[in-house]
Each structure stands twice: as structure tokens, then as C-alpha cells.
Amino acid sequence: MPKIVIENLFNHTIDLAPSASKVIEIIHESGIDWMHACGKKGRCTTCKLIVKEGMDNLSELTDRELVYRNQGRLKANERLACQAVLKSGDLRVRVAEQNKFPHIIYSE
């Protein structure tokens, strides 16, 4: 079964059935609060994922992500959780430092 591991959240692991859901929806449905200042519309980058493993398991970059990539605001190892869909396989990610919530305790 595919899974998403959030490294700096004590390796929180989400086991999931294959679906076409965006990564942020999977994370939210698992009960984890993940920043999404623009309402998941691809207009802010606060939902950024730092991808440690599994980049090839994600859908292609969307037009919104390409805008940020071309502006240098989305690095090669980063994706927007509100845009990327986990196609298959596993994903290992981190919460970006600037997008951590004050009410959540992170492991790193």
C-alpha cells in the first residue's frame, strides 16, 4: 500500500489506498494540519512539500507550480501539496521551516 512519510513530524506515516487525491487532501484527511494560506489554489506556496524521496511518484508540475519554479520560489526538490497528486508508490517529505505552525511540535 502506498504511504506518505513526513520526516520532521516524527516520521508520521500515512498509509493510503491508491487514489487521485492531491497530497494536501491526503495529509489533511489523516488529521495533520498543513499550511494552505490561499485555500489550496496554487497561489501562495505555503503548502510547499520538501520531497526527500518519491518525486517520480508525483504527477507532473502544474501551470501554477511552473510559475513558482520559473520565479525561483519552488526548488527542484519541492512541490506544492495542493497541486501534486501521488500517482503510485511512496513519498517521503518534510515541512518547510517557514511553513511550520506554532501549535504543532515538530521533531526537527
Q: Kindly list the residues in this chain that would bind ligand FES in the complex (CB under 6 A).
A: 36-38, 40, 42-47, 80, 82
CB of 84 to ligand FES, least distance (A): 10
Residues in the chain: 108
CB of 35 to ligand FES, least distance (A): 7
Which DSSP category does 55 fall into? G
Nearer to ligand FES, 14 or 81 (CB): 81
Residue 98 DSSP class: G
**CA-wise closest residue to 69 among 80, 59, 58:** 80
DSSP secondary structure letter of residue 59: P
Minimum separation from the CB atom of position 24 to ligand FES (A): 7
Of the pair 11, 41, the CB lying nearest ligand FES is at 41
Cβ proximity to ligand FES: between 14 and 65 the closer is 65
Q: How far is CA 99 from CA 45, 87, 89, 103, in A?
A: 9, 25, 25, 12
Nearest distance from residue 107's CB to ligand FES, in Å?
23
Residue with Cβ nearer ligand FES (15 or 29) = 29
Chain centroid, CA 77 distance in Å: 11
